[in-house]
A and B are shown apart, each in its own frame.
Chain A
Amino acid sequence: MFETGVRQVRLAMGMVWGRRLSPENVARLVRDALGTIEEFGEPGADVGELIDGPLEDPAARKDLANRGVQRTAARLAAQTQFYERRFAAAGVKPAKLDVDALAAIPVTVKRDLVERPEDFRCADVPSYLTTRTTGTTGRPAEIWLSRYEMDLWSAMGALAGVLRGEIGPTDVMQVNVSSRATASVHLDVAVCRLVGAGCRVLGIVPPDESLESLTGATLLATTPSYLAELETAARQRGMGPADFRLRTIDVGGEVLSPSLARAARETFGVDNIRDLFAMTEVAPVTGRTCRQGHLHFDLNMGLVEYLDVDSGEPAQPGALATVVVTPFFPFRDCMPVFRYDTRDVVEVLDGKLTCELSAMPGVGQLVGKADQLVRLGPNDIVTPRALVEAVEALPARPWPARFRSTVHDGRLRLTLPFSTIGGLGEAEAVAHFADHGLDVDLAFVSDDEATSLRPLRCDLHETTFAGRPAVIGA
């Protein structure tokens, strides 16, 4: 108990002073948290403050953000070529920046990272692991990470997971994300190791192979599109809740529709499907979706801004905004970004929130990428989420949704594979979309062309030898 107190003080002081934290200290806190739960069944009452920080007070939040921005900007100006130039061009003093003056610094975009990755590397940090974005939205970016970052993120993630009851020593996590997402996979494995849970990394293998091992897992980490494939495969095999012992499904990286979430709950017998925001470029800043469907970002590790998709100015309530993230030092170390425009779009909410995460600011759910918004007029935008939800709500359960959206003569044209509308006629399908607030013209292609309409993460298939003839001589 005394040692744990000392460790918590060390962690708190490190965060307050903005110095590098000790991953080993946080890992020990994970063990302390496991011991606490073993003894008491749950953490103590003030656990929320320990995980999410005392951030209910807007003034405290702003103070934390200002200090994080100044600390991070000063380091980036000194250690990276890109931001040295950028801050100089903007004429700002990094150590004196505050959140109200950030507009003077242009946002960093993915093209910057792709074209000049070396300019983002901090000179004072040895590289450890590189990870690439999946490239579903264009040319992939390569991000270098330090050993310190990987150890710290996994320890912080494990600590938060244990204290929130999201993972424990009796759990087995199945990871169905692309094996090339090295950082994500590494973190899942490291979190399980720290907690003492089992970890099965499968990647994006044929769904039937995943289902066989999924029966023993309690946690599943995947993407919505692969979850859709798993759900479809399970249903086709006649599997139901009695065949699984899952307690949580974590998804992220794509839009999760209510139809798919409901079906996954029914098929896998899981109440808790967590729709998370995580992105390689802005790690370790993450977001969680509450039970009322708001997206809440963790504010301890970074600054999150919402900029109007049209004007680039801070978005007003009700407007669509792109999420701009600045991960703070000492949480981001090797190849940090400052004001990174994720191009992920959310709706800015109005009024006070009443959800279980209302202590943290929240916005609407992710509605898709800014570049995939369909503009029918100056004030008429159709989001990818609206389309995904409408398509996946079709009676044929065409999961994951495959479509192409284009604008012809000011009208939305939706191109779908034939099988998507199932037994419905075209008129009935149009009426279905109208019921979802979408006035569309429909066009159809053969099912063979489905994957070319809209690339998804489940398309990053990985082959195995299972179910194939044995290789001679192997």
Chain B
Amino acid sequence: MNSPQWVLSTFQLVVALIAAAGASLGGLLYFRRVRMDRPAIGRFNGRDVCILFTLLVILPAFYLLVPRWALESLLVITYMGALSIGFQPLLRPVPLWLGIGVLIGADLWLGQHALGTVFGWQVFWTENSLIVMLAAISVANLYVQGGMQLRHVAWFAAGLAIYDSIFTIGFPITNLLVRDFVGYPLFPAMGMRISFNEAIVGLGDLLVYAAFTIAAFKAYGRKALRVALILILVFGAAMPTLSGLLINYIDARLDVIIPAQTWFGPAALVGYFMMRRRWGRERTMKEYLASTDVVRREPPAPPAIPEEPTPEAVSKPVSA
């Protein structure tokens, strides 16, 4: 039995706020304290945004075309990669891979065996949400610590706004995907269920929120962080969910999927333009790392044994 729309919207609001705040603040905490390895050459640029966007556009087709075993295998590899990259700097190899194995293994098991009851769904969603949030934190940091700037995130969100509008409202492929694949192991979303109602926030949305938060913080510091969090909570969490009330008033349907980026994308872009106008160009990673916004670890204690001095270059007549 479906709940009244205001109950459902409130439930969705709570889930969306928890998910958006969790990914954003978790990403920020990681960003301030952990430095990821990066390749010798390369930084994130506008073309990388285009590549990401292209991948995103073809992803739904991939979901629909490949068999389930292949899809799940791909998801396992993807999550293993994301989690291992993100948490390698924090954990030694054994606990790292043990943790990843337990998390993913439990998700696969719960997705196959626990979905017969509401409680089973709730356990599955809790476990799945943890993996998805950790992956979002990890990948957002990979991008931003790799040089992704606030303008890249803002334009990416704006692109997603158009994409989401088209494929949710115009051609409802996203709706089909959610209905067909929800409950699959490693479903790429955070969510929760009460009764027969579910509230879901997609991995892509979480990735945008986390990246927007840390890119704003990297670019302009705490003042921009406050702006970013307000935009995320209002336009990324509150507006999409509360708009369900309006849509229900007009449409009388209760199962409408509301594209979050349709709200957040324009807000992110306008927010970025305002920040750039007010505070100028974004800081580079080098400038950010030199700032007081970074949480620094205690410097290592000096070695007990003095290091050997470097020998002077000696030149002598050579006789053989």
Residues of B within 8 Å of A389, CB to CB, are 315, 317
Interface string of B29-52 (1 = CB under 8 A from A): 000000001111111110110010
* Residue among A1, A5, A367, A437 with the highest chain B CB neighbour number at 10 A: A1
B98: interface (CB < 8 Å): no
- Asked if B41 contacts A33 (CB within 8 A), the reply is yes
Residues of A within 8 Å of B51, CB to CB, are 2
A41: interface (CB < 8 Å): yes
Interface string of A15-33 (1 = CB under 8 A from B): 0000000000000010011
A4: contacting residue among B41, B313, B316, CB under 8 A: B41
What range describes how many residues of B lie at the interface? 20 to 34
- Asked if B43 contacts A39 (CB within 8 A), the reply is yes
Residues of B within 8 Å of A293, CB to CB, are 313-315
- Asked if B39 contacts A40 (CB within 8 A), the reply is no
- Asked if B284 contacts A47 (CB within 8 A), the reply is no
Stretch of A140-148, A243-251, A327-335, A378-386 with 4 or more beta carbons under 8 angstroms from chain B: A378-386
B146: interface (CB < 8 Å): yes
- Asked if B313 contacts A383 (CB within 8 A), the reply is no
B66: interface (CB < 8 Å): no
Distance from B43 Cβ to chain A, minimum over Cβ atoms (Å): 5
B73: interface (CB < 8 Å): no
Interface string of B84-109 (1 = CB under 8 A from A): 00000000000000000000000000
Q: Which residue of B lies closest to A289 (CB)?
A: B313
Considering only residues 274-320 of chain B, those with a C-beta below 8 Å from chain A are: 284-286, 289, 310-311, 313-320
- Asked if A320 contacts B318 (CB within 8 A), the reply is yes
Considering only residues 214-269 of chain A, those with a C-beta below 8 Å from chain B are: 257-258
Considering only residues 164-220 of chain A, those with a C-beta below 8 Å from chain B are: none
A292: interface (CB < 8 Å): yes
> Bound state CA distance, A166 and B315, in angstroms?
25
* Residue among A29, A39, A41, A347 with the highest chain B CB neighbour number at 10 A: A39
- Asked if B284 contacts A39 (CB within 8 A), the reply is yes
A1: contacting residue among B147, B284, B311, B314, CB under 8 A: B147
> Bound state CA distance, A47 and B147, in angstroms?
17
Residues of A within 8 Å of B284, CB to CB, are 38-41
Residues of A within 8 Å of B311, CB to CB, are 292
- Asked if A379 contacts B320 (CB within 8 A), the reply is yes
Residues of A within 8 Å of B37, CB to CB, are 44-45
A47: contacting residue among B40, B45, B285, B319, CB under 8 A: B40
Known A1-B147, A379-B319, A383-B318; 11 more pairs at CB < 8 Å: A2-B48, A2-B51, A33-B41, A35-B43, A39-B43, A44-B37, A44-B42, A47-B41, A385-B315, A386-B318, A389-B317
21 contacts between A and B (CB under 8 A): A4-B43, A5-B39, A5-B42, A8-B39, A33-B41, A39-B43, A40-B284, A40-B286, A41-B289, A43-B40, A44-B39, A45-B37, A45-B40, A47-B41, A49-B40, A50-B40, A293-B314, A379-B319, A385-B317, A385-B318, A386-B317
Spell out B's residues near A (CB within 8 Å). Answer: 37-45, 47-48, 51, 146-147, 284-286, 289, 310-311, 313-320
Please provide the 4 A-B residue pairs with the shortest distance between their CB atoms, ordered closest to farther. Answer: A386-B317, A293-B313, A41-B286, A4-B42
